[in-house]
């Protein structure tokens, strides 16, 4: 499934019956619960990356991306919003951006 299709499914679940879908159920529990689930899944992905279990990392990365999109949807942030930000950054390398930051 593409990220676009996954994001569209998640958006559609915002108005779905919580008993009919995991996504709708999670969204009904609020942005804080969605954020907590994202954090848990991200940590699981980190653990698999450190262990070096490639197949497990793919699974946890998929869970993490799904829960990231659900967390953002809970705060009305869309995949298009994220892509617009990534496009804005495309013109500048990460090293140049870091060098341009005010010294703190």
Applying CB under 6 A, the residues found at the interface with ligand PRT are 1, 6, 9, 13, 21-24, 37, 63, 66
> Minimal distance in Å, beta carbon 64 to ligand PRT?
9
Contacts (Cβ under 8 Å, ≥6 apart) of 26: 33, 34, 37, 70
Q: Which is nearer to ligand PRT, 23 or 101 (CB)?
A: 23
Sheet strands (E) in 1-104: none
The answer to whether the Cα torsion of 65, 12, 17, 74 is positive or negative is positive
> Minimal distance in Å, beta carbon 95 to ligand PRT?
34
The answer to whether the Cα torsion of 3, 86, 40, 13 is positive or negative is negative
> Minimal distance in Å, beta carbon 93 to ligand PRT?
32
Residue 78 contacts residue 7 (beta carbons within 8 Å): yes
> Minimal distance in Å, beta carbon 72 to ligand PRT?
14
Q: Which is nearer to ligand PRT, 9 or 78 (CB)?
A: 9
Q: Which is nearer to ligand PRT, 21 or 28 (CB)?
A: 21
Q: Which is nearer to ligand PRT, 61 or 77 (CB)?
A: 61
Look at the chain and count its residues.
Answer: 104
């Amino acid at each position: 499934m593409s990220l676009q299709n996954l994001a569209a499914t998640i958006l559609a679940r915002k108005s779905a019956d919580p008993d009919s879908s995991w996504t709708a159920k999670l969204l009904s529990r609020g942005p804080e619960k969605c954020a907590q689930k994202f954090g848990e899944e991200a940590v699981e992905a980190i653990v698999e990356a450190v262990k070096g279990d490639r197949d497990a990392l793919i699974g946890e990365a998929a869970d993490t991306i799904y829960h990231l999109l659900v967390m953002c949807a809970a705060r009305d942030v869309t995949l298009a919003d994220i892509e617009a930000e990534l496009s804005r950054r495309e013109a500048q390398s990460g090293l140049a951006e870091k060098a341009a930051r005010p010294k703190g």
